[in-house]
């Protein structure tokens, strides 16, 4: 099933409708995962085996991409930001559901020159260009803090479903990089992924409330998979929890089903999160809401990363 939404330049076909039917559904992906280099001039930092693994599993772990001293410098910057009163009061800052502790800071590349430089680092950008087959831009950036003993969970979801419905991302041609600033282990609420789930699109149910992002960034209730669809994906692919020391990077496809649990360990978990979207996949009008989310959550300027 496809539907049509109006865009600034005319109608645009909705290849991935969601939150419109009374029952959830799972349909095959309609886009490539790893895109070919049609220019013949892209850098290729990833070897053939890594590209094939990303295409098959939907994610890739780049252990030690950044040195631990680099990770510590970025962690110090994150600590400095989270302690600033003006950052805590900024609308780009999301607080934990039950208290006023910082959970995430969005558009962090606009808040911090150090993080801006990190997200433009060729070690990240060149890998994104290679996997997406061309120039990319910063669709979203943020830092996530999961403090020791009380860091809350992020429920299972596909980012693309939300980016498509609430932001207007047309196709699956984006990826995320989660950069560990602290060790990621099995105890401190690590990222969990369902290998192979990126090849299936889960259409969710429920009409999206207005200004849904004001609540969903603290606790998401719409745009999450039903239990039966999630069970089927896990039965097919299992669950992995990529782990690594500070400085490691997890690269994962925009349609990967992923989550992270509560941090019940005495060790905090902090990450920098960046989304690279192909410049050929720039946002149009949202496919499921009247007004798009703010640009600090989803950039509408597809200026190539330099």
pLDDT confidence of residue 160: 98
Domain membership of residue 36 (yes or no) is yes
Per the structure, the count of domains in the chain is: 1
Domain membership of residue 50 (yes or no) is yes
Decide: 103 and 152 in contact? Cβ < 8 Å: yes
Q: Report residue 291 as tokens.
A: 């007004």
Query: Could you list the pLDDT tens digit for every one of the 306 residues in the chain?
Result: 445 444 433 458 999 999 999 999 999 999 999 999 988 889 999 999 999 999 999 999 999 999 999 999 999 999 888 877 776 677 788 776 666 677 788 999 999 999 999 999 999 999 999 999 999 999 999 998 887 887 778 889 999 999 999 999 999 999 999 999 999 999 999 999 999 999 999 999 988 877 766 665 555 677 889 999 999 999 999 999 999 999 999 999 999 999 998 899 999 899 999 999 999 999 999 999 989 999 999 999 999 998
Decide: 114 and 74 in contact? Cβ < 8 Å: yes
Domain membership of residue 293 (yes or no) is no
Residue 306: which residues within 8 A CB-CB, separation 6 or more? 120
Domain membership of residue 290 (yes or no) is no
Q: Reduce the DSSP state of residue 235 to 3 states and report it.
A: helix
The CA distance from 296 to 90, in Å, is 11
Domain membership of residue 295 (yes or no) is no
R_g of the chain computed on alpha carbons: 18
Phi, psi of 13 (to 5 degrees): -70, 135
Q: Per 3-state DSSP, what percentage of the chain is helix, strand, and coil (rounded to 5)?
A: 25, 25, 45
Report which DSSP code applies to 63.
T
Question: Tell me, what CATH number does 170's domain have?
Answer: 2.60.120.620
Domain membership of residue 39 (yes or no) is yes
Q: Reduce the DSSP state of residue 73 to 3 states and report it.
A: helix
**What domain range is 199 assigned to?**
18-281
Report which DSSP code applies to 164.
I
Q: Reduce the DSSP state of residue 162 to 3 states and report it.
A: helix
Domain membership of residue 87 (yes or no) is yes
Look up the pTM and report it: 0.91
Domain membership of residue 303 (yes or no) is no
């Amino acid at each position: 099933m496809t539907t049509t939404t109006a865009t600034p330049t005319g109608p645009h076909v909705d290849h991935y409708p969601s939150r419109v039917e009374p029952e959830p559904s799972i349909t095959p992906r309609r886009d490539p995962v790893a895109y070919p280099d049609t220019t013949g001039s892209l850098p290729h930092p990833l070897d053939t085996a890594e590209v094939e693994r990303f295409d098959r599993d939907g994610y890739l772990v780049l252990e030690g991409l950044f040195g631990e001293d680099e990770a510590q410098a970025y962690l110090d910057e994150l600590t400095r930001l989270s302690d600033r009163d003006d950052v805590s009061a900024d609308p780009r800052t999301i607080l934990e559901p039950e208290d006023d502790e910082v959970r995430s800071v969005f558009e962090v590349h606009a808040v911090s020159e150090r993080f801006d430089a990190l997200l433009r680092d060729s070690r990240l950008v060149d890998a994104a260009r290679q996997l997406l087959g061309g120039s990319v831009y910063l669709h979203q950036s943020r830092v996530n803090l999961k403090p020791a003993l009380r860091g809350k969970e992020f429920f299972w979801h596909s980012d693309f479903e939300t980016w498509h419905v609430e932001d207007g991302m047309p196709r699956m041609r984006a990826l995320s990089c989660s950069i560990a600033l602290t060790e990621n282990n099995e105890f401190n609420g690590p990222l969990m992924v369902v290998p192979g789930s990126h090849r299936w699109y889960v259409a969710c149910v429920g009409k999206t409330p207005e200004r849904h992002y004001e609540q969903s960034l603290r606790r998401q209730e719409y745009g999450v998979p039903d239990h039966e669809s999630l069970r089927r994906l896990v039965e097919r692919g299992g669950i992995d929890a990529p782990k690594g020391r500070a400085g490691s990077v997890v690269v994962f496809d925009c349609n990967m089903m992923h989550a992270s649990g509560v941090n019940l360990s005495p060790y905090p978990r902090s990450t920098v999160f960046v989304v690279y979207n192909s410049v050929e996949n720039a946002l149009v009008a949202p496919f499921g809401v009247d007004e798009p989310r703010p640009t600090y959550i989803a950039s509408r300027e597809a200026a190539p990363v330099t």
